Each structure stands twice: as C-alpha cells, then as structure tokens.
Amino acid sequence: MHVVKELETPFQYPILRNVVKHIFRTVLGTAPPRPKRRGLRGDFPMNHSLNEVVIVNDSAHINGGSSHVALSSAIALAQAGAPVTVFAAVGPVMPELLETPNLRLILTNQYEIVSDPSRARAATQGIWNLSAANSFGHMLEQLDPEHSIIHAHGWTKALSSSVFRVALDKKFRTIITLHEYFTACPNGSFYNHQRQEICTLDPMSLRCIRENCDSRSYPQKLWRVARQAVQRTIGAVPAGIKDFITISDFSEAILAPLLPTTARLHRVNNPIDAKCQMKVPVDERDAFTYVGRLSPEKGVILFARAAKDAGVKAVFVGDGECADAIRQCNQTAIITGWLPRDGVNEYLQKARALVFPSLWYENSPLVISEAAALGVPAIVADTSAARQYVADGLTGRYFRGHDATSLTAALVLLKNAPLAAILGAEAYRRYWTSPRPMTRHISDLTRVYERVMHNAA
C-alpha cells in the first residue's frame, strides 16, 4: 500500500461547503470536523459525523467515463469539505489527486489485467486480487465503520471484488455506482461480440455460459464466468450490497430486476463539464462527428458506411482497432486520434451534428449532453441509453439500432441546415434550462450519503 499524497488546506467550493455542513448536522446533529493534515493513521478528529468517504476505482487517472466521474467527484467532494480517500490500483496518477486539499490517495501500484506482462498473475488477480484486499483491509482498520462510507465506481479492471468482501466483513456502509453492467453480466455489456448484437440471455444461466459472446475467445468467456461466480459468492456482489447509484433510466430498467429485492436505488446523474457560451451555428457546419473509442461495438463501421452513402463528411474523434477498417470503407473519413478535452470540444464546435451509433446498450454517455450544451444536435441509436438524452425530432434524431439504411436517412435529414439549426437550438435551450454541473452532482451525491447513513442507523 502506498500513500501517494495527503494535503489539507481551507475548504473550497463555498456553496458545496454549506451543503455538506448542513447534511453533517442533519445526519447526526454535528458539524463536520475542521480540516487538519492527516497522516496514514488517520489522525483527523473522529466525532459523531461522516468522517470519511472512500472512493474505490481501478485507476488513479482518467481512462474513461466512469473514471472521470469517480475521480473528479472525489476531488470535488474533498474541496467541498468531506474528508476523502481514493483507493486505486493502477497508475499513473492524475496530478489533481496530488494537489487537492483534504484528499489522500492510496495506490497499490498494480497492472490493469489486460496490460499485465504476467498472464498467469493477470488471470488470478483479475478474479481475486489478494494484494489489493490486504491493502484495503489495512486502510479500513484505521477508519470507523460507523462514520465512513465506501463508494465504489470501478473494480473489474484491476481491484476485483475482493475489496467488497473486506468492506462487508468489516461492516462498512458500501455503495456501488452502476456505471456498467458487471454486477450482473460476465462481460459487463449485455452484448454478444461474436454475433455483434445485444444479448438477451439471463446472465450466468446455462445458455449464457455456453454462448461464445466474448470479443476475444470462448476460453476468455469462461474466465469471465469464473470471475463472475467468485464475485457473486465470495465477493457478495451484488447480494451483499444494500445501496446502488443508478445513472440513467435506461440502465436502471435493465439492472434493477437483477439486483437484490432489498436493494435501495438512488439516482445521481453524471456531471457534465460544460461552460455556458454562445451556441454553435450548426447550420454553417458540415461535419457529422463521432467521439470515442473506435471499436466494433461502438458502431463506427456502421457510421462510416452510412456517411458515405449519405454523402456527408464523417469525423471520428478518437482511436482504436477499427481505424483502418473505417478508412477502407470511407476514404474521405477524418480520424483525429485521441485528443485532450479542449481538442474534443474544438471538433464538437465544428460539427453539424454528433453521431452516436453504438450497437450495445451503453449506460449514460456524457458526450450527448456535452454536445447539447454547445447547441449541437445528436443522431443516436434507439437501442442505446443515448436515446434518453435526445428528444426525437426536437433535439436530434433516433435511428433504428444496427440499421445502416435508417442511419443514412437520419444523416440526409440533417443535411438540411435550417432543420439542424432548429434542433441544435432546442438541445441548447433544454440543456441550459437544467444543466448538470459538478456542484449539482456533489449536492445530489451528499444527499445519498445522508440517506445511507440514516438507513444504517
């Protein structure tokens, strides 16, 4: 276990500080402890309040949407005055974690399963990470389970379900944010990569186990089944967890029937990092833009072909295994590679519309709302969670999932510049009528912590 950095300075985010103080007083009738520098032993004053929030995430850097939410919310919670520990396995460490007041980071310094040079270690550690469990247990020994909350975001890429077993054995209140579908599905997506279609089999049923749905091989699928079996039994996920945070109506409808009947579901929408500015004049733009990983399940080949048939300019902001295939089926397609956030924003401001052609369910894609905040309408598959963030015919268009002809028709429709402008203006108006900044996310999250503390009292 390695404590990377621990700092304390006066609270930031004044509005959130007041919210946190109010909730601390409401929960147990006391104000939060005044911040002071904490050592590894946790020498901050312990009193009748929520004294620690432990954020559990595979990585200590942002490598996807769930990590972005986990780490950015950990930073914001700490800046709002909540004592926060981030427990992670994989570096490198994002600098903000080292610089944020009132936050400590504990890193086990391990590989992600997919990048571990020792495949034998990856196979065993991916199922049960004993080292992480031991480090987590040592950290929890320094905390009071009556005044702490464990909040897990991601564990399947490195940490494993071993950390939940430790937390439950030590009687810590534990919450999982359902960023993905790993609490139920062995491959975490309800998607058959071999058939390239959404999977409707009962997870971990005999038919599920027999089905070769993995993107790599059937032996890899069987390994995932073994991991899921261990997670369900020894790890006690989801059976041992009482509280779950859902992030969209779409994913909640899929997962709720597969959670314990006694589970308490809390809604906290993902935060959107957007600044209010003049909306993009999409009627003056001609690019139809995709943002994300270039992989088969994301529907990027479908988009490339449909864009060629529709005679529109296709821009792919991202990179991945399908880059060459995209170029082969659409020679005019532009692929930017991975870009920093400012670079992504620059390409969104050059877009006529955002295209989200994903073939699998997804969960709560951030880019739809990020585009809407700029006044860029979206074309989305009606089989994915993206549909929740688009009003068909008002802020964008649906197309039939997996259907190239339907996507082509939607692209042709938005070649109409005045129509694109109308849809973009409505997307902009609706987003800024009810924006989702980090301040709102932390306020909602803190209220969930309050309810969990009350329910466990």
Query: How confident is the model over 358-399, as pLDDT tens digits?
Result: 999 999 999 999 999 999 999 999 999 999 999 999 999 999
What's the alpha-carbon Rg for the chain, to the nearest Å?
22
pTM for the whole structure: 0.87
pLDDT at residue 38, as a whole number: 41
Structure tokens at 197: 């279609």
What domains can be seen in the chain, in order of their start residue?
2-183+237-271+437-456 (3.40.50.2000), 282-433 (3.40.50.2000)
Length of the chain: 457
- What pLDDT, on the 0 to 100 scale, is given for residue 457? 58
pLDDT digits (tens, 9 = 90+) for 249-264: 999 999 999 999 999 9
* CA dihedral over 440, 442, 447, 448, signed as positive or negative: positive
β pairing state of 351-356 and 378-381: parallel
33-77 confidence digits (pLDDT tens): 433 434 332 333 333 478 999 999 999 999 888 999 999 999 999
Tokens of 345: 């924003």
% pLDDT > 90, the chain:
86
309-322 in b/e form (b: 16+ CB < 10 A) is bbebbbbbbbbbeb
Given the structure tokens 């924006």, which residue do they identify? 435
Q: Which position has the token pair 């942002």? A: 62
C-alpha pair distances (Å), 157 with each of 58, 115, 123, 150, 162: 6, 10, 11, 18, 12
pLDDT reported for residue 3 = 53
CB 55 within 8 A of CB 136: no
- d(C-alpha 10, C-alpha 372), whole Å: 35
Alpha-carbon distances of 254 from 190, 202, 248, rounded to whole Å = 10, 11, 10
Structure tokens at 169: 């054995």
Query: Which alpha helices (DSSP H) does 183-299 contain, by range?
Result: 206-210, 218-233, 249-255
Q: Which of 363, 11, 394 is nearest to 189 (CA)?
A: 363
| Sign, Cα dihedral of 258, 56, 366, 355 | negative
Tell me, what's the pLDDT at 50? 85
Written as one string, the DSSP assignment of 142-199 is TS-GGGEEEEE---TTTT-THHHHHHHHTT-EEEEE-SSSTTT-TTSSSEETTTTEE-
Q: Is the pLDDT confidence value at 229 over 80?
A: yes
Residue 343, pLDDT above cutoff 70: yes
Confidence of residue 319 (pLDDT cuts 50, 70, 90): very high
Q: How do 2-7 and 103-107 pair as beta strands?
A: antiparallel
CB 104 within 8 A of CB 52: no
Distance between CA atoms of residues 391 and 369, nearest Å: 12
Helix spans in 355-394 (H): 366-372
Beta strand pairing status for 313-317 and 2-7? unpaired
